Amino acid sequence: MTSPATPSDREKVVSKLPGWLRQNLKIRAAQLHIKIQDAVEQGINDWCTLASTTATIDTAGADSFATDLPAGQWDDFKRITTDRRVSLIQGLAQSVQLWLDSNPAPHIERPLITRRVVVCNQKGGVGKTAITAGAGEALAEDPAQLYPVRIAKQLAAAIEGSDSAAVSDNPLDTEDLPGLGLRVLLVDFDPQCHLTNQLGATPLAMDGDSLTNHMAGSPKGDLRDLIVSIEDESFNGRLHLLPACNDAFLLDVRLSAVRAREAALERALEPLEGDYDVILVDCPPSLGLSMDAAAYYGRRRDAEKPGQSGALIVVQAEDSSADAYELLTNQIDDLRNDLKIEIDYLGIVVNLYDGRRGYIATSSLQGWVDIKDPRVVGLIGDLKEQKEAVRVKKPLLSYAPKSQQAIGMRALAREIS
């Protein structure tokens, strides 16, 4: 393979390509993390060295396509297309298709140990459910499609800067990236059933089977039978939900009689782990036994790298979140010390942020940024699209895929994946 030309050695050329072929080129180049111009350069080089032309490409409806190629390559290419009695557009289409055929899409990298993300905070109303759903949706999006993603370095610079209000008031730059394509299970661990309802599923019946029954040691069937698929072409069967049941209000009472109760959630969910790359648990606003079980489930297992699983803490830029954060981290630290286990913090997500609310919001955001460990890994604005998605019971990333909240969720997913 020849080395790509430097920018100073290139010249702009304009031709035509069918829209479908141009889109395939754009997606594949993004999947392989290379520039489109380098892909076209290599495709033309390979096509020119073939002994004969390849199969004819349907170029009906081809429209303008521009790129930068090494000086002189386009003239050589035009001469060869003339010799082979094919049009310039046909030759370019064959070159691009040749590159696509020679550079297949990469396989999705599956974790050796299913990653477990425990989304938590003792305070209610901070948006744990929205973050669980949004991050899970972003992890499961189609790897053969491009989606707008907030540029992580720019976000980091913005929240570290002096003008925190600008983060929510001005949309940040984005880049189009392929979906992550992971197999994701969302677990509604909250008896209020918010995650279940938001995604348009039905809470489990009180007289039937439930996650609570499996944790309490009295299952009525296979937990897999309770799982529902979130149907949307963006997820293509990769995003599933374990709905909640109101019987979870009684979970702490039932767990008090269970042996090794901290491991109850793990015992229930471990048989499902082979089906998924990531499991996200939407925790209730509680510091009881159920939270102990959730935190234990997110502990670092043998042979698991630090930061693969753990607690993702959702807060708001206001004072009561700070109080709740301290209570939660104290509980997790006590569990670490009592059971001699490692529970990693995956980061802090500042949710429902609006810098226009003034000093309380901006100074609170700076307070979260100053913690450093765990660091802020997401900043999601208080915008209307999330509320609208909840109202119509649709996933945010399919209801408003280009909204600032969706773009931020994708950035968050990449921070924790």
Angstrom CA distances, 184 to 135, 139, 175, 275, 303, stand at: 10, 7, 24, 9, 21
Q: What is the pLDDT along the chain (417 residues), one digit of tens a residue?
A: 455 555 568 999 999 999 999 999 999 999 999 999 999 999 999 999 998 878 999 999 999 999 999 999 999 999 999 999 999 999 999 999 999 999 999 999 899 999 999 999 988 889 999 999 999 999 999 999 999 998 765 555 555 554 444 454 455 688 999 999 999 999 999 999 999 999 999 999 999 999 999 999 999 999 999 999 999 999 999 999 999 999 888 898 999 888 899 999 999 999 999 999 999 999 998 888 999 999 999 999 999 999 999 999 999 988 888 888 999 999 999 999 999 999 999 999 999 998 888 888 888 899 999 999 999 999 999 999 999 999 999 999 999 999 999 999 999 999 998
Beta-bridged to residue 178, according to DSSP, are 146
60 and 155 inside one domain? no
Whole-model pTM: value is 0.89
203 and 268 inside one domain? yes
263 and 387 inside one domain? yes
**Is 1 contained in some domain?**
no
Q: How far apart are CA 326 and CA 126, in angstroms?
A: 15
203 and 237 inside one domain? yes
184 and 283 inside one domain? yes
Q: Tell me the CATH number at 342.
A: 3.40.50.300
16 and 146 inside one domain? no
59 and 175 inside one domain? no
Residues 110-166 pLDDT 10s: 999 999 999 999 888 899 999 999 999 999 999 999 999 987 655 555 555 544 444
Closest CA to 365 of 352, 343, 350: 350
**Is 144 contained in some domain?**
yes
**Is 190 contained in some domain?**
yes
If you ran DSSP here, which 8-state letter would residue 204 be given? B
**Is 399 contained in some domain?**
yes
User: Tell me, what's the pLDDT at 162?
Assistant: 42
Angstrom CA distances, 394 to 232, 233, 288, 398, 403, stand at: 9, 13, 31, 7, 14
Domain count of the chain?
2
**Is 298 contained in some domain?**
yes
**Is 135 contained in some domain?**
yes
188 and 294 inside one domain? yes
Which domain range does residue 30 map to? 8-102
**Is 168 contained in some domain?**
yes
206 and 322 inside one domain? yes
98 and 120 inside one domain? no
143 and 273 inside one domain? yes
User: Tell me, what's the pLDDT at 321?
Assistant: 82
Which residue, 45, 75, 102, sits at the end of a domain? 102
54 and 130 inside one domain? no
**Is 110 contained in some domain?**
no
